[in-house]
Every structure is written in C-alpha cells, then in structure tokens.
Amino acid sequence: QVRLVESGGGSVQAGGSLRLSCVASGSTFSINAMGWYRQAPGKQREPVAIISSSGDEKYANSVNGRFTVSRNNAKNTVYKPMNSLKQGDKAVYYCNEEANIDWNDVDFWGKGTLVTVSS
C-alpha cells in the first residue's frame, strides 16, 4: 500500500521560507510523477509543483521563481523549498504520487501539512 508522509509545514512571516518534504513508501508501481498540490480555505485543490519520473518540472504560475521541487530517488523523497512566501500561499499542502497501474493513472495522496503565512 502506498503511503506518503509530509513534513515541514508551519507558520512563517511573509517573505520567509519553508521546505516541505514527502517520504513515499510501499509503491511497487511505475511512477509517472510526484509533486505537491495545495488547498486554501474555500478553494479547490490545485497543483503547485510537479516533477516527472524523467526529472521535468512544472510549476503553477503563482509560485514560479519562488518554489522549486526536487526528488531523491534513493530516499524515495520529494522536496519543495518555498521562498518569498506570501499570505496567498497559506494552504494545506498535499504530497501526490501519480502511478501507472494496469495502464491507468492512479493518484495517491498524503494527509497534508498546513502552511500559514502571516503579515
């Protein structure tokens, strides 16, 4: 069973930095991509930063240049340093793994970690 565990969330002042980590375990499938989504209060979950199995990175326009994503395959870990945080970045951040299972793309999710940004 796939398990994703996030860490690194917390409270920071605007302009500050945090680094989120996600450790994956139990995956025996072919992984298409891993990354991070976020959900702010009253809003839908949205993709933030994705890294494919080949290392291609994609970012939401709102975080481009401030957030990065990387992975350590040996540790089954995905990292997301976040710099120049804004109040609009306040959300629950979820780690995501998209796997290919029997020719279907299946999403797995962590439980989320809260990021709060104060003025």
- At 34-89, the pLDDT tens digits run 999 999 999 999 999 999 989 999 999 999 999 999 998 888 899 999 999 999 99
Kindly state the tokens that stand for 69: 């994503």
- Classify 98 as helix, strand or coil: strand
The mean of the pLDDT values for the chain is 94
Exposed/middle/buried for 68, CB within 10 Å: 0-12, 13-18, 19+?
Answer: middle
Q: How far is CA 26 from CA 52, 62, 77, 85, 86, in A?
A: 19, 32, 13, 32, 34
- Classify 25 as helix, strand or coil: strand
Per-residue confidence (pLDDT) for residue 56, from 0 to 100: 95
> What average pLDDT does range 100-115 have in this prediction?
94
Per-residue confidence (pLDDT) for residue 74, from 0 to 100: 85
